[in-house]
Amino acid sequence: MTEQEARRMRRARFEGLAHLVVEPLHRYLLRRTGADMVEDVLSETMLVLWRRLDDVPGLVTGADPDPGDVLPWCYGVARGCLANARRADGRRLRLVERLIRSQEEAPAAAADHSELHAALGALGALDREVVRLWAWEGLAPRQIAEATGLTSNAVSIRLHRAKTRLADRLRRKDAGPTGHKKDEGRSSQ
């Protein structure tokens, strides 16, 4: 038997099985879950049946399958697929709840730093990245230079100018630099 004939026979076996079990499985799932989930679970069930076609009891090549032999096993597959779908929905719901809780908490935290975010937003993209790498990642100018492709001297100059502009925007002209020691803004080459 050629590979193409074997595929045709496998497909014919599956189509015979599908013709026999689709309606009973659809009814089975309708009684156990909402209509919005039935089609997805039925599709997943049919996919599992296709993959495990050789494991279906009572499915013999060339003969019509007996529903009494085939359906109980197919119901078990549908039951497992439904359980998987419910677990996935539960995970999605928990994730959505966590995201909602974090969104409720985030505005309060973001409100504390809104001036800072606005001041950072007023900087150019490269200056903003240099400041973030320095302040948030704790990198020295030579390390920032390596990350951005600039020279250490260019990073030091950009960092100094960006910190000055941030201080002006935040109305902290008289305050000293925050976050790092004074000598950290200079290159150590």
One-character DSSP codes across 20-39? HHHHHHHHHHHTTS-HHHHH
Q: Which of 38-47, 50-59, 81-90 has the lowest mean pLDDT?
A: 50-59
Average pLDDT over residues 109-124: 75
CB atoms within 10 A of CB 66: 13
User: Quick one: DSSP state of residue 184?
Assistant: G
Spatial separation of the C-alpha atoms in residues 81 and 154, rounded to whole Å: 59
**pLDDT value of residue 88:** 95
Q: For the domain made up of 3-109, give the CATH fold.
A: Rna Polymerase Sigma Factor; Chain: A (1.10.1740)
Third-level CATH fold of 114-185: Arc Repressor Mutant, subunit A (1.10.10)
Give the start-to-end residue ranges of the domains of the chain: 3-109, 114-185
For residue 168, pLDDT over 50 is answered with yes
The CA distance from 60 to 153, in Å, is: 78
In the structure, what pLDDT confidence band is assigned to residue 185 with cuts at 50, 70 and 90? Answer: low
* Predicted confidence (pLDDT) per residue in 71-80, tens digit: 999 999 999 9
pTM value is 0.54
Q: Among candidates 122, 121, 120, 159, which has minimal Cα distance to 139?
A: 159
Q: How does residue 174 score in pLDDT terms, banded at 50, 70 and 90?
A: very low
Query: Which tens digit of pLDDT belongs to each residue from 19-30?
Result: 999 999 999 999
Kindly tell me if the per-residue pLDDT of 99 is higher than 50: yes
Is 114-185 in the same CATH topology as 3-109? no
Q: Are 25 and 75 in contact (CB under 8 A)?
A: yes
